[in-house]
Structure 1
């Protein structure tokens, strides 16, 4: 292989190394090669639903959708058809609970009748009233209602916008009432378990938190130190002891032990907390993680110890979050709906961001569950509700930086080998074909001059002997070809070169030894 071939192969190796290095870097830093697409299902007209719940509310084993806005409720079948719809003249709050112990949840409503008076009622799936009570002496209209199954029996607890709590039993009688604090709205009611005993956790907007037993007595109290936006209870570590999560208006996120109200962790996210949900994000079923949405569009995932797993952002204020395994990979995905109508999906494990098609109006609530054996999401906005499925679509197997790098490297290697092994182009020679006698004479004279120049360079030592012989042999060959062409054209030429019988090289007429191989020439 000549020098040109060696250089070509060396350059090819360098280029291949650069290609493979770049491909390996891209493959290493590649986070997701999949994308998520949404596929619309049925829709239903209900303005600004604030509560959506997917569960079997008819007892037929199929998943229904319960929806509630400020003055109406609807119970829908799995296909979106209306099972029951009720319209009210008064503002309502709602919750679900099994009033009659038939293993099917009923719809429990709190209706504002007049200042300080609210009607409580439980409806079955047909809209029939199974239970009722009247809350007299409220200091303002209801802000929260909760069904709690205490060990002594179930109670319906209603909280008003002035910090008061009232509880009612099976007979519709008032069981207890208490003031969490005065002059501010009850922001959260949720039941929780401590050592197998059921309690009620309550939070007031002024930062007050308490855990109540079935008699309305506080087990402990806590003060967040800033206005409260959210209270949620979850069993995050699987020990059958719930944790209480608080979200503050100034951005404080606190996890309390339900047993004694002590802080497990307290951190600040830097913006008002709009929503808190839990889910299985890291693939470890022994614990669950928290997802927090902020008023300025921030989204964070935390472990139960408060360690940040990932953070992201959406375009506007977070309105709701659903955490559900959309693609069946065993890890929950995080779907965030914002005030502008935007929908953004984040993979639970890494927080990779996948924007989905936005809604045309502000999102008010969302829910996710399994309907007809398929993961289904319901999105409610200012116009109505829409069901949809979200599918994960992976890129083809050949969409891989390493594979592309290998293919490019093979191409470079093939091209380099072709150029390296391709014979070098012969030196440019004077062609005597189809030339005139005058032209041949001029070329012959020029070759004599070049031979003289080469011999002069040899005599002065400016040209090495090896280079001299190579160049001289080439010029003499061209001279022999010119003279042969002149003879063929009828020109009387005295030939000045003869061929060496041993190597075939052109030797000056009269020489007795070949300059190239040393063969003795007998004239």
Structure 2
């Protein structure tokens, strides 16, 4: 293993420099009505990143203490809730037929849609990224940058791809997204690649971020979050790198813009949204990448991956607030706690 050192997820609140203190929230006269429809407590994330996964009209969620639940998306009514036999570090991956999570001991665990255990498979090291499921294959990545394709029905390994990691990487959870028969994978060293799910053969690979600088820290360019796919575009962003969009089938570049982020992007019909590592939220035109607007009023609030929803783009922060901004001009529409 060549990449043996990691940096914990960058913490914008650990610095004593007043210039990087989180921006204070001001009273907001919202023009968009929002309310909390339901809540479900899964405990603390304990430093790991968990993402809900949609399965039809339901949502599958997981927590670090081993909790896994499937609830109705409309009202949060639990269909079932179970406790995995060990603490979890990654999830959730599902294709509507199987549910997959990663455990602290590097074990990949699969359950059916009723919460019944199906199989376990030991990977080479800790799992931080949510697995991807499609074409009857589960694709998982361990922290040593080994990517494994596993039969979704049996748990048997089908293929393994070992990617060379740089000397220093971020301890984050770069994600994956399924497109047709391929899985698009965000990787260390600024790489974004497409692999055939059935065999693990590479389809294409591009560099979203290029290593620059004299020190290993200056040369870190890991991709943040999961690639976002919309129609024929796939977009991603790199730390100390760029936000960029490519043709999802071929990897041909659409456009790139300088931006540094450790979280993913959102894409819709018109825009690509990205929150940078200083807390500014930016929108770019999906066709061509021209800057549409930038809002820096949430500086150093540890913004999440944005979500495009209706006339708004929503983004969470380190205190648990969800901010709704206009897709068109970036003005604040509402805030929810």
TM beyond 0.5: yes
Superposition deviation, residue 312 in structure 1:
0.9
Which one of 292, 305, 312 corresponds to residue 376 of structure 1? Answer: 312
Give 1:134's aligned residue: 83
After superposition, what is the alpha-carbon deviation per residue over 1:11-63, rounded to whole angstroms, capped at 9, x for unaligned? Answer: xxxxxxxxxxxxxxxxxxxxxxxxxxxxx9959xxxxxxxxxxxxxxxxxxxx
Q: 1:215 to 1:298 in 2, by over 3 A?
A: same
Which one has a bigger Cα radius of gyration? 1
Give 1:247's aligned residue: 186
Which one of 28, 36, 41 corresponds to residue 82 of structure 1? Answer: 36
Give 1:278's aligned residue: 229
Superposition deviation, residue 362 in structure 1:
2.6
Superposition deviation, residue 278 in structure 1:
2.1
- Maintained 8 Å contact 2:274/2:281: yes
Q: 1:42 to 1:382 in 2, by over 3 A?
A: farther
* Partner secondary structure for residue 131 of structure 2: strand
- Maintained 8 Å contact 1:207/1:224: yes
- Maintained 8 Å contact 2:238/2:262: yes
Which one of 316, 334, 338 corresponds to residue 272 of structure 2? Answer: 334
Q: 1:168 to 1:344 in 2, by over 3 A?
A: same
Give 2:11's aligned residue: none
Equivalent-residue separation in structure 2 for 1:259 and 1:335 (angstroms): 32
Give 1:119's aligned residue: 67
- Maintained 8 Å contact 2:236/2:243: yes
Superposition deviation, residue 321 in structure 1:
1.0
Aligned alpha-carbon RMSD (Å): 2.8
Equivalent-residue separation in structure 2 for 1:362 and 1:188 (angstroms): 21
Q: 1:357 to 1:251 in 2, by over 3 A?
A: closer
Which one of 279, 284, 308 corresponds to residue 253 of structure 2? Answer: 308
Could you list the structure 1 runs, at least 4 aligned residues long, displaced by more than 6 angstroms after superposition. none
- Maintained 8 Å contact 2:273/2:284: yes
Q: TM-score, normalization: structure 2?
A: 0.72
Give 1:188's aligned residue: 130
Superposition deviation, residue 293 in structure 1:
0.5
**What are the equivalent positions in structure 2 for 1:86-125 lying under 5 Å apart?**
86-91=40-45, 93-98=50-55, 103-105=56-58, 107-113=59-65, 118-124=66-72, 125=74
Which one of 283, 289, 299 corresponds to residue 243 of structure 2? Answer: 299
Superposition deviation, residue 378 in structure 1:
0.9
Q: Does 1:322 align with 2:266?
A: yes
Q: How many residues align?
A: 276
- Maintained 8 Å contact 2:42/2:62: no
Q: Select the structure that is richer in strand.
A: 2
Equivalent-residue separation in structure 2 for 1:266 and 1:257 (angstroms): 12
Equivalent-residue separation in structure 2 for 1:173 and 1:190 (angstroms): 19
Q: Select the structure that is richer in helix.
A: 1
Give 1:492's aligned residue: none
* Partner secondary structure for residue 85 of structure 1: coil
Unaligned runs of 5+ in 1: 1-39, 44-77, 236-240, 281-287, 326-331, 393-523
Which one of 248, 266, 273 corresponds to residue 205 of structure 2? Answer: 266
Superposition deviation, residue 163 in structure 1:
2.2
Q: TM-score, normalization: structure 1?
A: 0.48
Equivalent-residue separation in structure 1 for 2:176 and 2:161 (angstroms): 15
Superposition deviation, residue 318 in structure 1:
4.6
- Maintained 8 Å contact 1:148/1:157: no
